[in-house]
Amino acid sequence: MNTNHRLLSLTVMATTMCATLYAVGSYTTSFIESPWGVGQFRPAVIIPSLFAVIFGSVPAGVGAALGTLIADSVKHGYLYPGSYLASVPGNFIGFFLFGYIVKKFNWSRFILASHITLTLANFIVAVLYVLVYKIMYANDPKYLAFSSQALIVYILGLTIWWFVTMLPFVLLVTPVLIRAVAYATPSVVPEDVRIHGLNEELPEKTFSMAILIPGLVMLTVGLLLQFTSLGSQMDSFFGSVTFTLILWMFYISGAALTLIGLFVRLKGFKK
């Protein structure tokens, strides 16, 4: 078997593994929804993040797209339009980009890729889910009744919820997995991942600020919602129960990220 055939076989194998593991991991937490009533808790994003670093853009992007389609369709019991219209393109673009950014790997690039991917991919999914699936495809009367301002708040709310619930897992768990794979199967790990991943510590200041700043932003948004007119507008849009859940989402996630970031900054982060 020549080099091209081996590379193709490895890519197919990695894509299949990524899709399978991501589908199982996503389905496991698929019934934990956001305060908005849609959008699931998905720590399984550590899987395509890992594959992006080890195997590159194609296995990560295609594996994430197929994995999310499988998980969503199994959950709903049919080929779910909300998945192939929103989750599939968002996951593909996000994790393909993740692999591209970490193609020349170091920990600073990994942190950068985590933030860009989670922001962009989740925003794409939120926009497509609300505007394409719910409004254009399903003609959902609930969403058709929303004002433009309410739709913007809804899309940003979904994006932020996904971001803050995924970021700690990607930044805290994925580096451990990267190093474990580099130790266990060095032959399949790119040379720069072995060099930087095994021999260098995560940059403590960059790592801590990568968690601390989003945490402080979440706390600030929570305060703005509680003590400004924006909160009363959201209350009228979505109802008191949903608004209270959203408010606590910002406070709890913001406090958690802030505490983790401060701990890393003060105590150091050693692997």
- Give pLDDT tens digits for 238-268: 778 877 877 887 888 888 888 888 887 777 5
Q: 107, 196 in Cβ contact below 8 A?
A: yes
Does 229 have pLDDT greater than 60? yes
Does 237 have pLDDT greater than 80? no
Angle at 256 between CA 250 and CA 258, to 5 degrees: 95
d(CA 161, CA 29): 15
- Tell me what the pLDDT averaged over the chain comes to: 87
d(CA 28, CA 25): 5
pLDDT at position 271 is 45
d(CA 236, CA 253): 23
pLDDT at position 161 is 82
Give the residue with greater pLDDT, 68 vs 182. 68
Q: Is the pTM of this model over 0.75?
A: yes
Does 269 have pLDDT greater than 60? no
Q: How many CB atoms lie within 10 A of CB 145?
A: 9
- Give pLDDT tens digits for 131-156: 999 999 999 998 888 888 878 888 98
Identify the weakest region by mean pLDDT among 29-33, 157-161, 198-202. Answer: 198-202
d(CA 155, CA 162): 11
Does 113 have pLDDT greater than 90? yes
What would the two tokens of residue 248 be? 């606590």
